[in-house]
């Protein structure tokens, strides 16, 4: 599992940019429904060949991060 912390604050714009970057980098990605937690956290899940990518704008830990079963560091270079 790979984990990427992109910001140590809640940042809706960075969350959206991260999702857009994943969608552009992987044209055949399977995008699931955006989940909004009761605390306002945003969770977006993607699947690529059965491997999961989760993007979170997490209000509990005040950060934007990605957990992924595939290495994504090359696509995040321009975001951080």
- Tell me what pLDDT residue 18 has: 95
In tens digits, the chain (80 residues) has pLDDT values of 999 999 999 999 999 999 999 999 998 999 999 999 999 999 999 999 999 999 999 999 999 999 999 999 888 766 54
Token output for 64: 């934007």
Cβ atoms of 12 and 56 within 8 Å: the answer is: no
- Tell me what pLDDT residue 79 has: 55
Three-state SS across 19-51? HHHHHHHCCCCEECCCEECCCCCEEEEEEECCE
């Amino acid at each position: 599992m790979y984990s990427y912390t992109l910001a140590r604050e809640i940042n809706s714009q960075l969350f959206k940019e991260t999702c857009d970057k994943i969608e552009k980098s992987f044209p055949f990605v399977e995008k699931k429904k955006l989940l909004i937690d009761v605390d306002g956290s945003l969770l977006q899940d993607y699947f690529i060949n059965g491997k999961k990518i989760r993007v979170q704008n997490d209000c509990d830990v005040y950060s934007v991060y990605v957990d992924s079963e595939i290495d994504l560091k090359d696509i995040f270079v321009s975001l951080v």
